[in-house]
Amino acid sequence: MALEPQRLSKVVAALVACSRREAEQYIVEGWVRVDGSVVEEPQARVAGERVEVDPRARLQPATPATFLIHKPAGVGTAEAQAMLRADARWQGDASGLRRLKSHNTALVPLLALPQPAEGLCVFSQDGRVVRKLREDADLLEQELVAQVTGEMAANGLVRLQSGLVHEGRAVPPARVSWQSEGRLRFAVKGIAPELVPWMCAQVGLRLVALKRIRIGRVPMAGLPPGQWRLLAPGERF
């Protein structure tokens, strides 16, 4: 006699001796296999198939996700978000968090970079992170490396640090220094990356490339272009 199909979550709840809700979480986190294949849909039905729960399974808190991606130069915000695929996860991700299907929804792009620039970009579904990076954006220091050509005008470094006026408004003070020949380091608050090419032009330089390597207390720290990691629990901007 054929077995009557049952919801996978019900079978897992019986196997692990847990609540139905916890069983659903085991499934969506990728801990459950049916006849050797991972199944992430709690509503899937089984009838006699071999159902296994990974003995290493540990449920993580059901918290919203924040993605940090190294956006390549020439890539727009929408294209960068499309790169948040499972196969593009950085092997150095030390967040300890599993990637869930639910992490794909309601992602908000924050502090977007101009398309020609590369570097650290943020996509989040965490309301606290969204508020922080929107409401306190002018208080967060961003660190950028600018590759430039040309000869800097006299007192150019001083002018970049304080003294420029853009469209009738004083540009906020910035920490600017030579990182190496042809490379300037900008540590700025309240200055959008889009303004950096104009700032360079005011002191006789032409911006060739721009890379953001830090937002607040979160560095890019070895994240390769086109790859992402998750913001770790306890990690703050």
| Main-chain dihedrals φ then ψ at residue 77, nearest 5 degrees | -60, -45
66-138+217-230 shares its CATH topology with 141-215:
yes
| Main-chain dihedrals φ then ψ at residue 68, nearest 5 degrees | -115, 120
| Main-chain dihedrals φ then ψ at residue 32, nearest 5 degrees | -110, 135
The CATH code that applies to domain 66-138+217-230 is 3.30.70.580
Q: What is the dihedral of CA 199, 205, 206, 208, to 10 degrees?
A: -90
Interatomic CA distance for residues 48 and 7, integer angstroms? 12
pLDDT in tens, the chain (237 residues): 567 888 888 888 888 888 888 888 788 778 889 988 888 888 889 888 889 888 887 776 667 899 999 999 999 999 999 999 989 999 999 998 888 777 888 999 999 999 999 999 999 999 999 999 999 999 999 999 999 999 999 999 999 999 899 999 999 999 999 999 999 999 999 999 999 999 999 999 999 999 999 999 999 999 999 999 999 998 999
Q: Which of 119, 93, 122 is nearest to 107 (CA)?
A: 122
Instruction: Tell me the pairing of strands 37-38 and 32-34.
Output: antiparallel
Domains of the chain, by residue range, sit at 6-53, 66-138+217-230, 141-215
Interatomic CA distance for residues 200 and 100, integer angstroms? 42
The CATH code that applies to domain 141-215 is 3.30.70.1560
Q: In the CATH scheme, what architecture does the domain 6-53 have?
A: Roll (3.10)
